[in-house]
Amino acid sequence: MRRGDGLLSHDLLPGEKGPKDACGVFGVYAPTEEVAKLTYFGLYALQHRGQESAGIATSNGKKILVFKDMGLVSQVFDEGALEALTGDLAIGHTRYSTTGASVWENAQPTLGPTATGTVALGHNGNLTNIEELLDLLEERAGEGARARFDAGLATDTTVLTALLGTDLFPTLEETAIELLPRVRGAFSLVFMDEHKIYAARDPQGVRPLMLGKLENGWVVASETAALDIVGATWEREIEPGEFVMIDANGVHSQRFAKSDPKGCIFEYVYLARPDTAIAGRSVQAARLEMGRTLAREHPVEADLVIPVPESGTPAAVGYAQESGIPFAIGLTKNAYVGRTFIQPSQTLRQLGIRLKLNPLREVIEGQRLIVVDDTIVRGNTQRAIIALLREAGAAEVHVRISAPPVEWPCFYGIDFPTRGELAAVGHTLEELRIQIDADSLGHISLDGMIAATNQAANRLCTACFTGEYPITPPINARHLLATQPVEVAP
């Protein structure tokens, strides 16, 4: 059984695995609009949340059509494909798998039969009680149902799709309302039948999900930035534990569980677009404040503040503003590298991070640098960047990180490594500084990071920093919590 569907490659060495988030979802009900094109541009805005595959499902009231493929949104769809996806309502999905093969069969939206027609579903997050759900599927769909999914090819999304298709209830809405209280973990769902759009968010609201208003319809999306792109006005967030149905009569809401907000703080640190707002707080503003806090908590004498682009840029700007040390671009990122399936030759592999980043020697030579990034995962990328900067003539390299040390895996959709693979586990700050070859190293405090979000600490999930999980991790994944520290590669 594969764990959740998930994104987002860090600025990494070739072949190195970094934090990835669960996917991006989008849905639109707009009878007078070209819904496939609206969904296309919505997914385009959510491309950062999933870069392996993309898909769109539409309905004309009689049947659902699905088009999906491997690749970026702009690679999967062309004008002809979008013209063929006719209808009044649509959902879309961008995906980055967290484990196992990235194959067409696991691209979303997933499709399945229901008691009255068809369901198409897109999922952002990761479920933690998949074994219980498989038992439920066996109970409802008959003997052998679980075996088909236990073959190792299923995702939690396909299991949800199959459960929504069981015919115990006369409508998809009734089936969903009965099923959702049984589901545990992180799930922001957008799904549809031939006539209606549905959306649901887990009781903890781990992953974001937004509701927007078009002139002649409604939009649901992972981030407010996607609403902006399609000209929708933000209405509100889908509440944790809320189920929403959208049809010709508008938006209908009901609760399937009590709200217990535990939004993922890593959305503010790294995952969401800077032009998105979550729980009323601009992500850009939060990252700027994290940088300012870093400057207060970890000052150092230096000549320039430079970011690791793009993830470290807002915090670097904040650090420069607070410290009074000039901000500069010292590393140039190749914006067109993207995700490649071509393995670099040994010669290129030895060049390491240069495939993505190259130093500006005239900026950094002879300078004492403060290098700002969002996280240290394994540490190999930071070590490679520091080596680049020293080769280019940097006099000193002081590393500042706008998140606390990552010490615990995530079970809610971010594909962090196991504890044993995380650089901060089992090492002191000084040991880690030596391993990455920095002149100094400072992480923002947990309290400082939380304060930057303008959210109460008890409304946030900080498990990857604290090990305090708001939703019980799956039993069959406890091995990921084992501690076997590893050294940063030379």
Is residue 240 within 8 Å of residue 261, measured between CB atoms? yes
Q: Bridge-partner residues for 370, per DSSP?
A: 305, 398
d(CA 90, CA 47): 17
Q: Which of 23, 264, 410, 461 is catalytic?
A: 23
Is residue 389 within 8 Å of residue 308, measured between CB atoms? no
d(CA 59, CA 61): 5
d(CA 60, CA 56): 14
Phi and psi of 132, rounded to 5°? -65, -40
Tell me the residue type at 91: I
Is residue 332 within 8 Å of residue 357, measured between CB atoms? yes
* C-alpha distance from residue 330 to each of 11, 312, 314, 357, 445 (Å): 15, 12, 15, 10, 26
Sheet with 233-237: list strands edge to edge.
64-70, 53-59, 89-95, 24-29, 217-221, 210-214, 233-237
Is residue 107 within 8 Å of residue 62, measured between CB atoms? no
Give 79's contacts (C-beta < 8 A, 6+ positions apart).
none
Give 133's contacts (C-beta < 8 A, 6+ positions apart).
127, 156, 159, 160, 163, 182, 183
DSSP state of 406: P
Does residue 23 have an active-site annotation? yes
Is residue 417 within 8 Å of residue 17, measured between CB atoms? yes
Is residue 163 within 8 Å of residue 137, measured between CB atoms? yes
Q: Bridge-partner residues for 397, per DSSP?
A: 369
Q: Calculate ∠ Cα 162-166-171, nearest 5°.
A: 115
List, by residue number, the catalytic residues. 23
